[in-house]
Structure 1
Amino acid sequence: MAQSEPVRLWRAYVPRWAHAPLSGEGAARFGGRWNPIGLPTIYAARELSTAWAEYNQGFVQHPALIAQLELAGAMLADLTEPDGLAALGLSETIHRCEWRDALDHGRMPETHRVQADLAAQGFDGLIYPSFMSPGGSCVALWRCNAGDGAELKVIDPEGRLPKTPASWL
């Protein structure tokens, strides 16, 4: 689905990276549910409470910086509804993919295959249900701010976010 109106997203991330809220490098370094190692990907939530729950993964409440983002012009595959899944030849079983286990055993997770297929079809990312916040949803965005298409920006009207990592020294 192509977005006609900008969408507000929420991202909770490690405060040390306050200067780089749109980098996606953490996901590139370690890989994620919807991205292989080496592919920068922004993971964000469509609700503030979901961003917090996803960040902490049900464990200890770690310090976080929460930024509001605005996404415009993105082509997102919606994997939250049965009709959207079926249109892409998928079922809800994709949400139960044991991607970490597959990586640990040297196999490509099914979610990474889906990501590659969607990217080849021109999708910038996808919407998926949150595991940590029932009823919430998240966005994995692997293509943005490259000229045409998806544009992602952080909402920082007073310029409070630092511009370099020097603020943490």
Structure 2
Amino acid sequence: MSASAPVRLWRAYVPRWAHAPLSGEGAARFGGRWNPVGMPTIYAARELSTAWAEYNQGFVQHPALIAQLELSGARLADLTTSEGLEAVGQTSEIHRCEWRDALDRGLVPETHRLQAELDARGFDGLIYPSFMSPGGTCVALWRWNVGGAELKVVDPEGRLPKTPASWL
């Protein structure tokens, strides 16, 4: 799927990084469902409530900063429908991948294999169903603001800090 019209996304992230809403370094540091350690990735949701649920993972309600993002020109694989899954050679079983367990056992999770395949095929990211918010959908974006995919934060009054100095 190519995003022709801009897509509105929501990202909940650690307030300490308020100055860097388009950084995927947290995901690169720890790895995630759709990215191996070392690969910057933006995780966002298409609904505000889904962003909040995914950020907290159903555990303690941590403080978060929520930013609205606008994505355009991205080539996204849609894993939310059977047609979309079939188009990339998958079934809904990919959504039950125990990626953390695989990493803990020194294995490459199937979600990471699929991400590498999609990246090689020119996809900028993917759309997947939320695990924490039934009916919600998320986006994992591993390529943005280079080439076709443009991601920007919606901050019309310039309220986000430009440097980490606000935390010193």
TM range (shorter): over 0.9
Residue of structure 2 in register with 1:65 after alignment: 65
Give per-residue Cα distances to partners, 1:102-134, cap 9 Å, x unaligned: 000100000000000000000000000001000
| Residue in structure 1 matched with residue 44 of structure 2 by the alignment | 44
Distance 1:31 1:57 in 2: 15
Over the aligned positions, Cα root-mean-square deviation in angstroms equals: 0.4
Matching residue's letter, 2:99: W
Give the aligned residue type for 2:37: I
> 1:21-56, CA deviations, whole angstroms, 9 ceiling, x for partnerless residues?
111000000000000000000000000000000000
Partner of residue 76, structure 1: 76
Give me the whole-angstrom Cα distance separating, in 2, the residues matched to 1:83 and 1:72: 23
- Corresponding residue for residue 166 of structure 2: 167
Partner of 2:135 in structure 1?
A: 135
Alignment deviations for residues 112-160 of structure 1 (CA, whole Å, 9 cap, x no partner): 00000000000000000001000000000000101x2100000000000
Measure, in 2, the Cα distance between the counterparts of 1:165 and 1:152: 21
Q: Aligned partners of 1:30 and 1:62: how far apart in 2? A: 18
Letter in 2 for 1:155: V
Query: 1:119 is paired with a residue of what secondary structure?
Result: helix
State TM-score, norm by structure 2.
0.99
Report matched runs for 1:5-154 at 5 Å: 5-146=5-146, 148-154=147-153
Percent of pairs with identical residues: 83
The Cα offsets for residues 29-88 of structure 1, whole Å up to 9 and x where unpaired, read as: 000000000000000000000000000000111110000000000000000001110111
In structure 2, what residue type is equivalent to 1:156?
Answer: D
Query: Which stretches of structure 1, 4 residues or more, deviate above 3 A after TM superposition?
Result: none
For structure 1, the residue ranges without an aligned partner over 5 or more in a row are none
Q: Structure 2: which 5+ runs fail to align?
A: none
Alpha-carbon deviation of 1:3? 1.0
Quote the Cα distance in structure 2 between the aligned partners of 1:164 and 1:150.
Answer: 24
Q: What's the offset of the Cα at 1:97?
A: 0.2
